[in-house]
Amino acid sequence: MSRDVAPIARLKYLLRRLTSFDPRRVWGFASQIAKEQGKWAPRVFVDMLVWAALHDTAYIDYYEADFALLSKSERKTFMTSLIQHHLAQAVNDRTDVLQFENKITFNRRFAEYLGRDWLDLDEVDAEGLRAFAEKNPVFIAKTPVGREGKGVFRYEASEVTDWNAFRDELRDKGQRLIEQRIEQHPYLSEYCEGTVNTTRVATFFDGTKVHVLMAAQKFGRGAVSDQFTWGGFFTMIDENGKSFGPGHTGKHKSRYETHPDSGKSIVDFEVPMWDRVVDLVTRAAQEVPTVPYIGWDVAVGPEGPMLIEGNWTPGLYETRVSATGIRTGSRARHRPVIEASRR
């Protein structure tokens, strides 16, 4: 049994699981795993229940990390969503995390790290919006609170004929945050020009040192966002900013040795200006010491990296053995935050 989650947190998790248990959903996962990996569905079904009850592994985690292909010792090297959620709840201040949940609040707090213009639609009239769009003919509108790329939209100023009506439309849709469109590094544009391909970096600030716990490179398919909900995929990144191997979606059986649209190599990918990316998140991680465990989304532009947002629950990114052949997860690198959660 994992010792990385406090007993009371595990008990609450088990109670939630019992009250929401849907055997048809679990059987659906087991059947899909059996079909994709040549396993016997009933055995997978029972194994999923055991690892959910005793090893802090949600059914979706079991599927996405290919646990059916891993030994018990190999599985224990992987992070799970329950462990990550427990860590975030244990070390991050419940009030101060609000600075990260709202994108407008985040932009104000981390203004020096953004590298782009933006405005709050509630603070400008239609003429102010039009003036912003004249400088930024293609711009991004976001709802202040949203996850997984939902609530992110791209507009072209040339298509707007009535700025008063357009401003009212954006406000009615809740798209209050207006941002300059990011120009990404030419190397990243070679992979997918139509989407800003961002790097997720999880950090933990122990009060003295910032630890880089995990990094993943996300790739888009031409949509406004590189998230899975928009067709994106990712590859894990090592401590030198280089790809671990082929990319995958984590949501179904997939393997990308090259980008499916551009043909650029995923296995040979290196994050441009990696040292500057690490420096950026290291500085940003110390801004709010009461929220030490953060997953940063970083875009790298021609002149350097810039923050997109910070997620106080960093998001679960792990390799898949079926896609990469790698049988070791990132839990060991999370030791600093795991130890801090026990204090």
Name the CA radius of gyration of the chain, rounded: 21
| CATH, residue 136 | 3.30.1490.20
pLDDT at 222: 87
pLDDT grade for 91, boundaries at 50, 70 and 90: very high
Centre a 10 Å sphere on the Cβ of residue 268 and count the other Cβ atoms it contains: 10
Residue 32's domain spans which residues? 7-67
pLDDT tens digit sequence for 255-283: 999 999 999 999 999 999 999 999 999 99
Cβ-proximal residues to 295 (8 Å cutoff; 6+ apart), any chain: 200, 201, 202, 310, 311, 312, 313, 314, 315
Determine the Cα–Cα distance for residues 49 and 29; give it in Å rounded to an integer. 11
- Cβ–Cβ under 8 Å, residues 337 and 148: no
Does position 1 have pLDDT exceeding 50, yes or no?
no
Among candidate residues 131, 157, 180, the one where a domain is terminated: 180
H helix or E strand, kind and range, residue 201:
strand 199-205
Does position 2 have pLDDT exceeding 60, yes or no?
no
- Cβ–Cβ under 8 Å, residues 109 and 124: no
pLDDT tens digit sequence for 124-175: 999 999 999 999 999 999 999 877 667 889 999 999 999 999 999 999 999 9
Same domain membership, residue 193 and residue 288: yes
Tokens representing residue 168 in the block: 């009212």
Same domain membership, residue 270 and residue 122: no
| CATH, residue 292 | 3.30.470.20
Same domain membership, residue 311 and residue 205: yes
82 within some domain: no
Same domain membership, residue 302 and residue 194: yes
Same domain membership, residue 190 and residue 157: no
Cβ-proximal residues to 236 (8 Å cutoff; 6+ apart), any chain: 214, 215, 216, 243, 244, 245, 317, 318, 319, 324, 326, 330
pLDDT tens digit sequence for 207-227: 999 999 999 999 999 888 888
CA dihedral 281, 305, 257, 242 (to 10 degrees): -50
Same domain membership, residue 176 and residue 197: no
Counted domains in the chain? 3
pLDDT tens digit sequence for 298-307: 999 999 999 9
220 within some domain: yes
Same domain membership, residue 271 and residue 124: no
Determine the Cα–Cα distance for residues 94 and 106; give it in Å rounded to an integer. 16
77 within some domain: no
Determine the Cα–Cα distance for residues 121 and 140; give it in Å rounded to an integer. 12
